[in-house]
Structure 1
C-alpha cells in the first residue's frame, strides 16, 4: 500500500524563489538533453551495453561502466528500455558505479532524476527507490560543495526541497494546492513541476487530487472531476493494493451516496463500471 503521511515544514520553503529556480532547472535540462551525443558512436555503445545486460555479461558491462560515457548510456537505457532496467537496475550495479565514479557527470545525474520521476513508486521493489534517492541526494550535496553560486541551479532546487524525492511528495503537493487555493495544474505550473517528464509521479499527483476532490464535492452534484475520472487512462491507472483509480472512485461514490445515488452519480457509476448484467467473462467486468 502506498502510504502518504503529511509532509511537515512545507511552509518553510520560499515557493516564489523555488519556482524561479525550477525554471532555471528545466532550461538547463533541455540544454543538456540537446547537447547529449546521439551519433553513431553513442548508438553503438547503447547496443553494446544493452547486449551485455541481456546476455548477462557482467564483466564486459563493468568494463564499459569504467568510462563516464558508459554510465551515461546505461542510465539513459534505464529510462528507455524496460529489459535493461529490469536486468541491471539493482544494488550491485549502483554500488559499482558509485565506487568507480564518486562524482557523476551531469548528464548521468539528470538521467537518474528523470528515472525517479518517470517510474517513481514502480521502483519500490527491493530497496531501489531508496538507494536511488540517497544516491541523488549525495551527488547533489557533493556538487553544491564544489560551487560558489548555486542559488539558481537544478541542484540547489532539489537540495532545498528534499521531500520531492519522497514517496509522499504527491500527497504533499495536493495538500499544498489546497493550502494555496489552487487547482493542482496551477500549483504544478507555479512550481514548474508540470515540466517534469510524464510518468508515475505526475500520474499519482493527479490521481490523488481527483480522489481527494471527489471526497469533498457536494453529494450527488455534477463536477468537473467526474468527467476526468471517466477518462479511460485515468480510471484504469494503478493506484494501491492492486486497485485502479476507478475502483477507489466507485468506493467513494457508493460510500458517500448513503443509499440511492442521484441520477448524475448513478450515470457516473454506470459509465465507469459498465452494466453489471454483462457476462462475467467480459473484459470490463473482470476489471
Structure 2
C-alpha cells in the first residue's frame, strides 16, 4: 500500500516534486523501481496492475519517463489517449506526469500542422505550465516548440507564429545577461536567435514608422509629413529586398507615448530609450550586411556606415541613447575602430538625400534593386533627372572616415 501511494504521488506531482528539493523526482523514481522489483521477486504471478507494469518497463519511473512514453506511443501510430488506455494507465494521467506527457506529444503535432497556421496545439504551448514542462535533459517543452516553430519557418513568419514564439520566450533582442534570454534563447543557439531577430527587424520598422507618422499628424509638422512617404518607401524597400539582418529601435518618451497609445498590448518589441532633445524622436538602426544605417525622424540625418558603427547597437547591452551618443560618439568611435572604412551623414533635403544615399552605396560596390526604394513613378523621374547610379571614384574623398 505504501508503494502504491508513492506511485500515485509520483504520477500526480512528477517534476513538481523537484521544485522544493532538486532531484527528488528522480530519487523517488529510483526508490519505486527498487521496491517494485523487490515486491515482484516474491511472486511468480505476473499481474496486470501498475506494479507489474512498472516492473516490466521501469523506464516509466526513470529519467524522462513522459518522453519515453510519447516515443513509444508514436512508434505505434496510436493517439496518446488510446495508447495510455491500452497500457492501463488511464487513472494515472490526470496529474503532472500526464500533463508533461501531453505537452511533449504536442511537439510531434506541431511538426505536422501547416506552417504559420492557427491550431489548438499553439494555445496549449503558450501556457506557462506546458512550456516549462521538462523535455530532454535540461530542455523544456517550450525549447522544443521554439525549435520547431523557428526551423519550420522559411522567409517571413506569420504574425501568429511570431507572437507564439515571443509569448513563450520573450524578445531575443535583449542583453545576453538578461535572465529571460539565458533561460529561453541561449539553449537555442545563435543561428535561431539571429533568425528571429531578423524577423523582428520588421516589427521595429513598423513601430518606427508608426511613431514618425503619428507625431507628424498630431503636431501638424508640415516638413516631417512631406518627407515621411519617401523615408517610408526607402526603408520598406530595403526590407522587401531581404538585405536587413538585424535592427534596433530607439524611442524618445514622446514617440514612445504615441506608439503605445496606438498599439497598446500588441506592442511586443524591445527598444532602447532616448530623452532630452531626442524625446520627440524615433531612431532605427538597420544591419544590412554590407552596410549599416542609422535613420531618425524630424531633422535627424541618415547615417550610412560601411561597417557596424558600435557593437552595442546589436548586442543590446546599452538601452539608453542621447543625441550626443548617436551624432558625436558613434562616428568618433567608428573612425577609431574602422580607419579605412567610410561613412556619410546625409541631411534629408527633399530633392537630394536619396541621390546622396544611392551614390554612397554604389561608390562602395553595393548594388540594390533601386526602383523598390522609390514610390510609384518616382524611380522614372529620378532616372530622368540623375541617371542610373554609377560608381565615381572622385566622390570617395568627400565621404568621412578613412
Q: Which has the higher contact order (CA 8 A, sep 6+)?
A: 1
Hey, which of these two has a bigger chunk of strand by percent? 2
Hey, which of these two has a bigger chunk of helix by percent? 1
Higher Cα radius of gyration: 2
Q: Give me the TM-score of the superposition, normalised by structure 1.
A: 0.48
Q: Give me the TM-score of the superposition, normalised by structure 2.
A: 0.36
